[in-house]
Structure formats: C-alpha cells, structure tokens
Chains A and B, each alone.
Chain A
Amino acid sequence: MRRVVLYERFERFWHWAQALIIITMMLTGFEIRGILGLHLFGFQRAVTVHNALAVALVTLIVFAIFWHVTTGEWRQYIPTRKFLREMVAFYLTGIFKGASHPVKKHRMAKLNPLQRLAYLGFKVLIIPVQITTGALYYFYPNLQHAFGWSPSALWFIAVVHVLGAFGLVAFLIGHVYLTTTGHTPLTNIKAMITGWEDLPDDEYFDENP
C-alpha cells in the first residue's frame, strides 16, 4: 500500500465549490418553484442567489475545462466497457459478500467504468442541459421580445430545467451513497478532502514520472 495524491488541489477545490454551488442552486431553485413550500432565502433573494451562482458555476466550469485539457485529466473520463459488467455485478452482489473491488484505483485511472459513465453523463449531459435551459430561462424575456417566441417555449424550457434539477438531486443522493462503498465508509470522502488515498502497489505505472 502506498499513499498517493489522488486528487490535485485544484480538482478538490473544483469538486467542493461545485458541490456547494449546485446544492445551493437546488435549494434556491426549489424555493423559487415553490416546491414543498421551501422558505429559506425569500423569493427575491433566492432568485438573486440562484442567478449569481449560475454565473459562478459557469466560471468554475470554464476553469475546470481548462484544467482538464491542460493536465490531460480529461482522459480519466473516457468511457470504457472493460470491467463494466464486473462493476455492475460487484455493486449488485459482490459488495454484500465482501468481494474485493474488481477495478484497482490508480493515479492514472482513478475512476471505475461506472464512475466514468456517470461523471461523463453529468458533465456532458445534465450540467450542459441545466446551463442551457437556465440561460434560456433567464434570457427568455429578451428572446421572446427579439424573436417573438411563444409562451409555451418558456413552459418547455422550465419543464426541462426542473426535470434536470430533480435528476441532479437523484445524482447527488446516489453519489453520496456510493462514496461510502470505499475501504471504510469515509475513505473516499477523506480522499476528496485531503487528496490522499492509500492505493495498492502497482507494477505497471510509475507514480512519480
């Protein structure tokens, strides 16, 4: 076993800032929609916070894309079918029997095939959809004014945006739960906070190029 820096400083900052922003946007968004009678910020404050955080999120994502590209970390998210079936089997049965994780975590391959799929979907599907529909929502009055968009367009935008938000909540729940499936329930979260994780020795990769 060796301790390695699995998550870089920027990566951790990005992850937690994004988490904070998205969770706050969920709460403000649900308050604006009037779901469960939420009253945390007050409507006007909720709208202002939600819009301000949208800008913050986009800014953060721009930096994150830059980081992924320049460090080559984007390769971590290339989907693969290798061990996919084994991963599914592990979560469905193996995990209960104490089977060992079918995919070894590695500095250069820190995501298992299921994570790759889920996070890629998160990055290229849910978040872009939310940002696009959010922007359309925000600028709808201008667009309506400029292009004479029909009122039902806004209804459609809103429906997609809200379904995306519910999807994000579901993602969050699953995501948080799955972090507890590490060596101990807190292993993964600790790693995400400190950056360090104990990894098994590996003869194929040199950790310090």
Chain B
Amino acid sequence: MPHPPRKPSPPRMRRILQFLVGLLVLVPLTVHAQETAAPAPSGHGSFTAAHAAKARTQTADHSKFKILQGPFKDGDGPAVTKACLTCHTKAAQQVMATSHWTWNVAKDGNDGYGKSTFLVNNYCLTIIGGNTEGCTRCHAGYGFKDKSFDFNQQENVDCLVCHDTTGDYEKERAGMPNPAVPLADVAQKVGSPTLKNCGACHFFGGGANATKHGDLDDTILKAPRTEDVHMSKQGAGMDCVDCHTSDSHKVGGPNYVIPADRREQPKFPGESVSRMSCAACHTDAPHKSYVLNRHYQKVACQTCHIPAFARGERPTNTFWDWATSGRLKDGRPYEEKDANGWPTYTSMRGKMVWERNVKPSYIWYNGNLKFTRLTDTLPASRPVVLNPAEGSYTDPNAKIWPFKFHEATQPYDPVLNKLVAPFTDGPPGSGAYWGDWKMDIAVKKGMDTAGLPYSGQFDYLRTTMLWPITHMVAPKEQALTCTECHARKGRLAAVPGFYLIGRDRGTGVDFIGFAVIILTILGVGIHGVIRYLHGRH
C-alpha cells in the first residue's frame, strides 16, 4: 500500500549535526578542563613561617644558663658537652646509640657496614687505613683519631655540630672544634638543626662540596625555587629535619640498612608513613589524573620530578681515576683545571670528571643497596658495582628510581680479590700516599693499620657506585613529560622486565597491521579502478 512520500526534514538533520559537532568539541574541552584545573595552594613559605614560630615558642633561652657562660678553653668541645649534659642528662646516651656516633651499622646480622669499619666507596675509599683522624672531622664526636677511640665517653659527643645556629662552629681533625670557635657564644645560641648543620657534613660527602651525592651541596642554602622546591627559601623553606624526623636523637635516614620500600614505611611512633616518603605530605595520589597517580606503584616520584641532578651551580664528581693519581711535577703535586675551574687532574686523586645538570640513570630499586666491604670477595664480573641495587618489575616493593652512577678506578688486591684501604692522609715521611706518593707502600701501611690480610700486590680496578637521587626536587613545571620515557629511545630505554607503552613497539605487529591496511587499500583501489574503467556504478 503506497503512502504519500514524506519530505526529509532539514531542521532535524541540522539538529543532529549540531549535536555531533557539539560532541566533537565537548569531549576535548572537558578533557582539557580536567588537566588544567587550578592547582591547590602549594603552601610556599609555610615551613619558613613554621620555623619562625618554633623559635618564638621555645621555652628556654640558653644564653640565660650560667653553665653556658664559659669561658671554655679554645677548642674544648667536651667541656661544652659536659655543660649540656647537666640538663640534657640522657642526650649523649641517645646520640651514642645512633649511626651518627657509631659509624657502624649492623646489616643482615653482619657487622662492618659503616665508615668506622669495613665499608668502602670509590671516592676517598675508606677511613680505616690510617685516615681516621682526617675523616672524623665529620664524626658527631670529639677525638676519634684511630680505632682506640672510646665510644663510651659521653662528653665526647658533639652537641654543637648539629645544634649550632650561629654558623660559627667548625670542626677540625678528629672532630675537634677549631680553636678559633667562640664556644660559649655558640653554646648559648643552640637550636633545632637547620640545613647548615646537616650540610656541614652531608654537602661535603666525597671530600668536598657536591662531590659525592649530586643532589646535596651548599647551593641549596641559597637555592632558587627552581633548584629545590622544598629547601629553597623561595619554595617551601623546609629544613632537612622536616622530613628526616628524629626520635631520641635517632634521625631518620637510610643507614646502609634499608628496609624494602624504605621511604614508605613508618619509622617512628605516630607516623602512618615515613616522613621521608613524598606521600607523607603529598599523599599517594597527588595528581589530578588517575593515570598519572597510578605511576606511583612502579615509578618513584623522584624519577619524574628530578629531571637532572647537580642542578645547582656546583658540578658533582662522576669519574675519579685513582690509577692516574700520584704524578708529580718537579717532585711536587699539582692540579690541572678546566675553563670552569673544575679540577680535571690532581696528583692526590688522579683524573676527574665533573658534571652539572646530569640526566640520571634509571633502575629498579626496592630500597636495598648491597654494599661491598673490604672483607668481601669481589664478584667475577667487571666492572664491579660496589653497591648494586635490588629490585625488579615483579618485586612489589621496587620502583624505577633515578640514580647517579659514579665511576672510578681504585686499588684492590688481585690475589685475594678484595678491595684495599690505602693510607692516604698523612705528611711526607709517614708513608701516606698524599705525603710520599707511593701507592704500594700506602696500601701496605693501610692494610696493616686496618688489620686486614694483604697479598702484597695491588692493581687498579674499575668500579661503579650507585647513589639514589632524591633531593633537589624541581618545580612541577619542570617535571618530565610523558614522552621522556614513553618513547622508543627515552630515558627508560634500558629498564628491563616490563612492557612500556610507547617504548616497546613490536615492529612485527606493526608490520602485520600495515600489511593488512595496505592490502585493503590495494583491494579497494583495484576494485574502484575497474569500476571506473567500466564506467558503471
């Protein structure tokens, strides 16, 4: 039954088209809105304000205490400590239980992890070959000259190095105060540790400013926000101890003995996560995007938010070549510097490479670095990694972390296949390397002092050390963008064990895909051409 033809209704069609166009515009718009929603106030300066409040609310003015009036003899640190202990009766005992004092950390039930024992690195190597007196400048105590040091003398705890607020306190050999330090004045102005206190030692790891870590040096003290959002005074104005919280003088830190996922686990009573964990302040879902937040399972915050290390003005040491050390000019040690004034060769240490703004290396890391001691037999593989990181994709505690890889050559005993402890720091005539420039004698003397077996032969060994990067966090605008890693030759190109979108693109799969598409186009094209040639349809 035929019915009257209806005309198409253009307005309706237009409405539908409008809707479709609307959809096209709307979806990207909402997406855009999600991404660029205004950030929450970041609390800049809140910590600076908090510190001012801390000073204001202190209940004790130490300058009012008679016992701190002095006078103290030049360089007589222990006398100051005795004065402190008259009120803070338990303080020294607390400090003596920490690694700041013992420089020795038991690990896996084994002794020997720590500077005072058999731990060795590939910068200044180790202290126990006779270098103790020079190195204990950074010991939180007084008089640590050699292994005869009495670790039970309470007055030898150094209160001032951590609690000085004047900036006038300085330590010399064996950790004694410089005799020029105005001890009474310093003692009367003690307070909570600031960046300067921790930095006095921790900025100078490896023997000089910025040398060891790559994310800790004295540029932090005057850093612009772009260098370190947390510690910069233009940023949050935080102190080390805001994250490295302490309990009974035990300051939170890695300590060589690192629990898996160390920054996450609560360290002290009252914490739900360790304050050293980014999540303690930022939560474990700080981004607007669910997809970004989920990266937290496998990617450390540091990986994206620290695009490079040594981002301050100072370069960090990336290569230290002991094998070329000891060259003399006219019988005297010398230095060569590059255009920046950075030493490229010193007789004391050999060839050196210094770098700024270095792209980190990325590896799986569950919080555990397996350190090598002087007593450990070296693995057969070369070059030797002195502290390989544990972790893999399938390890639930492991994340991809940024690292500074420090390369070096250092002396070892090829017969016993162990690292050695040369005596480096001493005057001419003492047999010390930096006095007499003879490595064979220095190693022999060092191993004797350390009380370790030595075959009498030494050679130089190529070693690598791993330093996790976690400080000098960049502002969020400088965080890595997706394609820094989600790309064929991105930053994570060498991180194994998982499928990474954008990086792992099976060329075979793409080949099949393109083959299908090309065959379809060919088929369609041939069909169309034939149709055209027949002039029909």
The answer to whether A and B belong to the same complex is yes
Q: How far is the CB of A181 from chain B (nearest CB, A)?
A: 6
Judging by beta carbons under 8 Å apart, are B510 and A35 in contact? Answer: yes
Interface assignment of B524: CB less than 8 Å from any CB of chain A: yes
A3-B6, A52-B31, A174-B520 known; A151-B291 Cβ under 8 A: no
Number of interface residues of A (CB under 8 A): 60
Judging by beta carbons under 8 Å apart, are B520 and A162 in contact? Answer: no
> Measured between alpha carbons, how far is A199 from B6 in the docked complex, in Å?
13
Of chain B, the residue at the smallest CB distance from A152 is B499
Within 8 A of B (CB), among A127-165: 141-142, 145, 148, 150-152, 154-155, 158-159, 162-163, 165
Within 8 A of A (CB), among B505-537: 505-506, 509-510, 512-514, 516-517, 519-521, 523-524, 527-528, 530-531, 534, 536-537
Chain B residues contacting A174 (CB-CB under 8 Å) are 520, 523-524
Question: Binding site of B, secondary structure by majority: helix, strand, loop or mixed?
Answer: helix
> Measured between alpha carbons, how far is A163 from B508 in the docked complex, in Å?
11
Judging by beta carbons under 8 Å apart, are B499 and A155 in contact? Answer: yes
Contact of B499 among A9, A97, A158 (CB under 8 A): A158
Of chain B, the residue at the smallest CB distance from A51 is B291
Of chain B, the residue at the smallest CB distance from A194 is B8
Interface assignment of B487: CB less than 8 Å from any CB of chain A: yes
Chain B CB within 10 Å, residue with most, of A95, A201, A207: A95
Per-residue A-contact encoding for B221-250, CB less than 8 Å = 1, 0 else: 000000000000000000000000000000
Judging by beta carbons under 8 Å apart, are B2 and A32 in contact? Answer: no
Judging by beta carbons under 8 Å apart, are B13 and A193 in contact? Answer: yes
Chain B residues contacting A177 (CB-CB under 8 Å) are 524, 527-528
Q: How far is the CB of B467 from chain A (nearest CB, A)?
A: 27
Chain A residues contacting B455 (CB-CB under 8 Å) are none
Interface assignment of B56: CB less than 8 Å from any CB of chain A: no
Judging by beta carbons under 8 Å apart, are B482 and A49 in contact? Answer: no
Given A9-B12, A173-B524, 19 new contacts (CB under 8 A): A12-B16, A33-B502, A33-B505, A34-B488, A43-B482, A43-B483, A44-B289, A45-B35, A48-B35, A48-B291, A52-B31, A91-B527, A141-B294, A151-B499, A154-B498, A155-B504, A170-B517, A177-B524, A193-B13
Q: CB within 8 Å of B: which residues of A? A: 2-3, 5, 9, 12-13, 16-17, 20, 24, 32-35, 43-45, 47-49, 51-53, 56, 91, 95-98, 141-142, 145, 148, 150-152, 154-155, 158-159, 162-163, 165-167, 169-170, 173-174, 177, 180-181, 193-196, 201, 206-208
